[in-house]
Amino acid sequence: MEIALQAISKAYDGVDRPAVSKVSASIASGEFFFLLGPSGCGKTTLLRLVAGLIRPTSGGIAFDGEDVTELPVDQRGTALVFQGYALWPHMTVLENVEFGPRMSGASRDARRRVAMEQLERVQMAEFAQRKPNQLSGGQQQRVALARALAAGTRCLLFDEPLSNLDARLRLHMRDELKTLVKETGVTAIYVTHDQKEALSMADRVAVMNDGEIVQLGTPEEVYSQPATRFVADFLGEANFLGGAVAASGDAVRVTTTAGEIMVSSRTAPDVGSKVQCCVRPEHVRIRAADEGPDPSLENALEATIVSSVYLGDVRQYVCRLGDGADGEWRVAELSQNAHRFEPGQPVLATFAASSVAVLRT
Ligand code: ADP
Ligand code: MG
């Protein structure tokens, strides 16, 4: 099922500032779509609007082109999959999954057939006679999905489903849940404030701030080409350098006080406009100053090493750009291939034109 959010807004009673403000997006059928942003940015509100648990103040929602804005929650075919999966402990797996079809009056044979079909879809048919407490967390999650699908769910909604799990289990469940959702082929929306969760699981991510979607794209796009400083910072560590656009078009050049930067940008900013260039720490390679620039990387800024910390997998450097007025950059090099630079050493911070994002300021 395809979902269209059409300039949807929600202001809670007695609160001036809308929790969700004119959000538009279209979610493709079968897509695993993520809403990512800090606490309070409106993710849960947007999910509840899609579910039909609350009504928008303005704007609308369409499912497969049909306006569902006024459709009550029980007629939308959406299911919020909560943290504890909420299986009934006294019922078997099969009875849990049969519950939806039973409520809608399906005959005994029909509901058994639907339930077994969905249990097979999530590879849990052989556990049909077990009780939920005889299953692992991952298996319970599968049954919960089978139950939602048997009840006619056309869209799965997840609100931070892994946030109560310990770190190791959370990592494992990420993979498991992603595989499972993609196997069902059902459209799914997943809310999280955890950028790693979003980047590792999503087909596309909508990054939210203050009730708005500030950027929408694939994990690679939002991480390596953030549109704003907020997105750059929220998704990971980022280095910045301000400058002015000296040439635009296919090859963008930005003049900064630390030197000129070449950018292979998909958007061509106006010549003369002030911009921020953003480069991720792992996209920078340090070279000794006397080695000269790396011919395979378009950019080389003069810098001085401030500190060097060994972290096992990576070595992390802080270096001061230019004469020091341009701030400090963090650089992460895989420790196995990094040869070691010492504080005070003059170096070149080198990076590809394709690894620079030009941010709106
Ligand atoms: P998130 O899920 O991203 O943490 P929420 O959608 O829960 O954000 O909340 C967005 C904003 O709306 C917050 O400022 C929150 O305090 C406010 N809010 C959420 N629910 C209600 C409510 N029932 N009444 C009034 N304000 C609310
Ligand atoms: Mg929330």
Q: How far apart are CA 92 and CA 270, in angstroms?
A: 64
- What pLDDT is stored for residue 75 in this prediction? 87
Residues in Cβ contact with 339 at an 8 Å cutoff, skipping those fewer than 6 apart: none
Axis-axis angle for helices 137-150, 93-103 (nearest 10)? 20
Burial tier of 266 (Cβ tally within 10 Å: 0-12, 13-18, 19+): exposed
Nearest Cα residue to 324 out of 253, 256, 258 = 258
Q: Which atom of ligand 1 has the smallest separation from the CA of 20? A: 10
Q: What is the pLDDT of residue 93?
A: 96
User: If you measure from the C-alpha of residue 197 to the centroid of ligand 1, how many angstroms do you get, rounded to a whole number?
Assistant: 22
pLDDT means over runs of 10, the chain (361 residues): 98 94 97 97 97 95 96 86 75 94 90 94 93 89 88 90 81 87 92 96 98 98 94 96 90 91 83 93 95 94 95 93 86 83 95 91 68
Q: How confident is the model at residue 63, as a pLDDT?
A: 96
What pLDDT score was predicted for residue 103?
86
Distance 191 CA to ligand 2 centre (A): 7
pLDDT at res. 37: 98
Q: Are 38 and 234 in contact (CB under 8 A)?
A: yes
- Beta carbons within 8 Å of 88's beta carbon, 6+ residues apart: 95, 96, 99, 132
What is the spatial distance between Cα 260 and Cα 323, in angstroms, rounded to a whole number?
15
User: For position 215, what pLDDT does the model report?
Assistant: 97
pLDDT recorded at residue 142: 86
Compute the distance between CA of residue 41 and CA of residue 44 in angstroms, rounded to an integer.
9
Cα of 92 from ligand 2 centre, angstroms: 31
- What's the CA gap between 276 and 290, in Å, rounded? 28
Q: Which atom of ligand 1 is nearest to the CA of 38?
A: 3
* Ligand 1 atom index nearest CA of 37: 3
Residue 237, pLDDT score: 94
Q: Taking a C-beta distance cutoff of 8 angstroms, is the pair 298, 266 a contact?
A: no
Structure tokens of 214? Answer: 């500030």
Q: Could you tell me the distance, in angstroms and rounded to a whole number, from the CA of residue 80 to the centre of ligand 1?
A: 17
pLDDT in the model for residue 79 = 82
Rounded-to-integer distance, Cα 341 and Cα 348, Å: 11
Give residues whose Cβ lies within 5 Å of ion ligand 2: 44
pLDDT for res 52: 93
Nearest CA to ligand 1 atom 12: 19
Residues having CB within 6 Å of any atom of ligand 1:
12, 15, 19, 37, 39-45
Mutation test residue for ligand 1: of 44, 46, 53, 157, the one with most atoms within 8 Å of CB: 44
Cα(36) to centroid(ligand 1), Å: 15
